[in-house]
Amino acid sequence: MARTLEGKVALVTGGGTGIGRAASLAFAREGATVIVSDVNADTGEETAERVRAAGGGAVFIKADVSRASEVEALIDEALRTYRRLDCAFNNAGIAGPIGSLTHEYPDDGWDHVIGVNLKGVWLCIRCEIPHMLAQGGGAIVNNASGGSSARQALRRMWRASTGSPVSPAPPHWNTPRKGSALTRSIRAPSARRSSTLSSPPCPTSYPS
Ligand SMILES: NC(=O)c1ccc[n+]([C@@H]2O[C@H](COP(=O)([O-])OP(=O)(O)OC[C@H]3O[C@@H](n4cnc5c(N)ncnc54)[C@H](O)[C@@H]3O)[C@@H](O)[C@H]2O)c1
């Protein structure tokens, strides 16, 4: 059977472990060449190696998604290497400090969790869109979490940060709908016609 992503180039941020590693292997199984990116070079290299060991094409490029210069360098290097970018899975994310009361939550924890989970997604989108528009199409998927709208009392700022990139939770979850949706706020010329921009809801937990 023909593979759906034959000849395509896919970027996965946070590809070193968990969902990002699984997604990297899945992209490769469908025929895409995968650019695995992560702030952790050891795990990121290992994912790229696993993709290659499974018969796929992959390179690792280190980048901290919360830093504009590193995201720009990542996209530049990806394009220098492969000349195109068809799929981007903006997946890198952190839990941040867990368990603090809201008024005791540390400043640096706030900056870190918002910097990675929210600003990091925006920095990636900002760099990805122009190239997808220029090449006539592409698909961007922003990972977030259903936990952003669930009652996870100990993960307050994580909920706020991961809720922001996503669309509202689907009605069947019976949870409050969140309106703060980075993904839904994206506006780009021809985005509807030539590109797909989405944040699929995550109906299950992934044991990472
Ligand atoms: N695990 C779940 O059940 C679940 C459910 C829904 C959504 N999510 C979301 O999916 C994403 C991945 O979750 P996971 O469970 O695979 O987590 P994970 O901790 O296994 O993987 C996250 C990866 O992101 C990388 N990372 C962290 N900070 C980074 C940064 N600044 N720049 C680049 N990479 C960075 C880590 O090194 C790690 O490899 C997160 O955004 C999370 O909020 C997870």
Ligand 1 contacts (CB < 6 A) are 13-14, 16-20, 38-40, 43, 64-66, 91-94, 116, 120, 143, 145, 162, 202, 205-206, 208
Instruction: Please check whether residue 205 lies inside any domain of the structure.
Output: no
Beta carbons of 12 and 23 less than 8 angstroms apart: yes
Residues in contact with 52: Cβ distance below 8 Å, sequence separation at least 6, in sequence order: 58
Stretch 177-187: mean pLDDT: 54
pLDDT computed for residue 170 by the predictor: 40
pLDDT computed for residue 207 by the predictor: 47
The protein residue whose alpha carbon is closest to atom 8 in ligand 1 is 145
The protein residue whose alpha carbon is closest to atom 7 in ligand 1 is 145
Instruction: Please check whether residue 68 lies inside any domain of the structure.
Output: yes
Instruction: Please check whether residue 166 lies inside any domain of the structure.
Output: yes
How far apart are the C-alpha atoms of 132 and 116, rounded to whole Å? 23
CATH number for the domain spanning 158: value is 3.40.50.720
**Which one is predicted more confidently, 16 or 104?**
16
The mean-pLDDT minimum among 38-47, 76-85, 138-147 falls in 138-147
The mean-pLDDT minimum among 18-27, 67-76, 134-143, 179-188 falls in 179-188
The protein residue whose alpha carbon is closest to atom 20 in ligand 1 is 18
Domain that holds residue 22: 9-198
- The count of structural domains within the chain is 1
Instruction: Please check whether residue 3 lies inside any domain of the structure.
Output: no
The protein residue whose alpha carbon is closest to atom 41 in ligand 1 is 93
Stretch 113-131: mean pLDDT: 93
Q: What is the pLDDT of residues 8-64, one digit of tens each?
A: 999 999 999 999 999 999 999 999 999 999 999 999 999 999 999 999 999 999 999
Give the mutation target among 12, 17, 60 for probing the ligand 1 site: most ligand atoms within 8 A of CB: 17
Identify the helix (H) or strand (E) that includes residue 101: none
Stretch 121-138: mean pLDDT: 93
